[in-house]
Amino acid sequence: MIFTSFGRSEKDIYKGHFQFLTCVSSSVLLRQSKGLLQPTSEHIKSEPEIIAMMAEAYFQGNHSMPWSSLAHDYETIRRFIDNTVKGFDKTSERSKGHGYYLPNNVRELDFSKLPEGKAQLTLNSIVSVQLTDDELLLMTIRSHDQFNTTIYGLHDRYRGVHNERRVIFLNPVDMQKRGIEKQEVLNLKSVYDGVERRAEQFLAIPYDIPEGNCAAYFPETNLLVPIDKFADGSRTPISKSIKISLEKARV
């Protein structure tokens, strides 16, 4: 099921009240986010409203959290966060204008709460991935015009790709071994525990990437990732280490 929500550029107005979201940047700056454009449709709901309505429908009022009221009361949501998550404080007021920074031990050079007041370093062994002759190791990546799964354009100036996202970056040696020409159309396939997953119609792009490895954008290649394969500790999906094979597409 697909739920359509407001875009970040659209106004979020409920009963005449202009609501705003708060977001955290990659530099841990917390500030308000307001849309300026009219919503595409009057039937669109906000992301918090969709989540709150789903929770209300699931719990049917039998839960300590007031889900129905949170659907349209972002101030209450922020107060819950302020009281729960370290570093958040008076967010509704402090997020105006420039916003405010969350605590950052490295920026503030404060390691007093760590053992002996020092950063702790660990050594981790590298997992050896065994590939068959016809397999490559795929990592999923973002394009330049992409933030997480939000795609703003079709121009990846990082890698010189324009007007296209269904591409796979391959080492020229791997392409030569497999008789693959530049911009030839390929299908990608992963097989885990006997289950085959396919992502079709990708253009082959020669790229300076280590032999035996390849890369492609997500979410276009998310369907190749098995949901039951993940890191032991973090349980992060193996999106950076997917065994795949290639086949030439029929065009």
| Largest Cα–Cα separation, the chain | 63
Q: Residue 246: pLDDT band by 50, 70, 90 thresholds?
A: very high
Residue 69 gets the label, from left (phi > 0), alpha (psi -120 to 50) or beta, of: alpha
Does residue 207 register a pLDDT over 90?
A: yes
DSSP 39: P
**pLDDT value at position 25?**
86
* Strand segments (E) across 64-166: 100-101, 135-141, 146-147, 150-151, 155-156, 161-162
Nearest-angstrom CA–CA distance, 205 and 169: 5
CATH of 135-248, one of 3.30.413.10, 1.10.260.40, 2.40.40.20, 3.30.43.10: 2.40.40.20
**pLDDT value at position 1?**
67
pLDDT higher at 187 or 14: 187
The two three-digit tokens of residue 248, written as one number? 């030439």
Nearest-angstrom CA–CA distance, 200 and 158: 24
Does residue 3 register a pLDDT over 90?
A: no
Residue 202 burial (CB count, 10 A): 24
pLDDT, the chain, mean: 92
Taking residues 30-45, what's their average pLDDT? 89
Q: Residue 5: pLDDT band by 50, 70, 90 thresholds?
A: confident
**pLDDT value at position 176?**
97
Nearest-angstrom CA–CA distance, 93 and 121: 37
Q: Where are the domains of the chain?
A: 13-102, 135-248
pLDDT higher at 140 or 106: 140
> 53-105 pLDDT, tens per residue?
999 999 988 999 999 889 989 999 999 999 999 899 999 999 999 999 999 88
Is the pTM here over 0.75, yes or no? no
